[in-house]
A = this chain, B = another copy of it.
Amino acid sequence: MSEPLLVLALEGIPEVQPGDDLGTLLGAALARTGGALPLRADDVLVVTSKIVAKAEGAFVDLATVQPRPEAVEFASRWSRDPRQVEVVMRQAVRVVRADLGVLVVETRHGFVLANAGVDASNVGPRSGAVVLLLPDDPDASARRIRGAIADRFGVAPAVVVSDSMGRPWRVGITDCAIGVAGMRPLDDLRGTPDADGRPMSATIRAVADEIAAAAELALGKTARRPAALVRGATPPTGEGSIAEVIFPPEYDLFR
């Protein structure tokens, strides 16, 4: 019998403010959440990018933003806030699509995201006046959280920083990993035999993304639940970096 997969939404995380110590907040939440302790080294702590970015102060005050003419034009065509569009354009290293009011862009990190992951929902008390960017270096954010958890509990679970992403051809968003620490994001089965002994040619499991998706099921979008503990997912061992998930341009059919 295999171990069940268990996802626990962490309890009682307050509204996160710039400068908050996420490691401390998450450690307290783990201690408060029934069934979370004792932590295991193969647990995965999933933390939404929203609270990581809030703690890191990745806000942009829209009153300070002077939109460029292209942002004004796009915003007026699609009834959007030109200052928000400007912020998205600043986060983009490449525009993949700009239509129907959505800018799909490649960020500095290499992610291709609608509106560059710039977020106006659930941004806290200054809602409407500010938007939230992605964390600057989500792998580093994950490593810091992992270090703090290890210091407190003497066990170092893996950490995934998650964010919501749309996808071509399918309606709706799923949560994916934008940063990892203490696990590799992919489980590369290429060349290993299938159940019939035939080598699998193209099977790379996107485990960190599936872990982020499982966490989102337990967290939802409206309640104040920004972190979850995932137990039983068998995360691939290794230090890991989300860069492993970014398609090299020469293999990217959709670049």
Contacts and interface: CB of A to CB of B under 8 A. Distances in A.
A149 interface: no
A168 B245 CA distance: 11
Interface residues of A, number: 83
A244 B121 contact: no
Given A172-B185, A213-B214, A214-B217, 15 more contacts: A2-B218, A4-B6, A4-B9, A5-B7, A169-B252, A170-B209, A171-B245, A171-B246, A172-B206, A174-B206, A193-B222, A194-B221, A200-B221, A203-B221, A217-B233
User: Max chain B CB contacts within 10 Å: which of A33, A35, A172, A196?
Assistant: A172
Given A6-B6, A169-B246, A253 B192 contact: no
30 contacts: A2-B225, A97-B254, A104-B253, A111-B169, A122-B195, A125-B196, A127-B194, A167-B168, A168-B254, A170-B209, A170-B246, A171-B186, A171-B246, A172-B206, A172-B207, A173-B203, A189-B221, A189-B222, A194-B221, A195-B224, A200-B221, A205-B216, A205-B221, A207-B217, A209-B213, A210-B217, A213-B214, A214-B214, A217-B230, A254-B254
A112 interface: yes
A172 to B, nearest CB: 3
A71 interface: no
Contact of A176 (B170, B223, B225): B170
Nearest to A186: B172
Give the number of times this chain occurs in the complex, counting copies: 2
A190 B9 CA distance: 23
A140 interface: no
Interface string A70-113: 00000000000000000000000000010110101000000110
A8 interface: yes
A128 interface: yes
Given A213-B174, A214-B214, A222-B192, A6 B9 contact: no
Nearest to A254: B168
Interface string A214-254: 10111011111100001011100000000011110001111
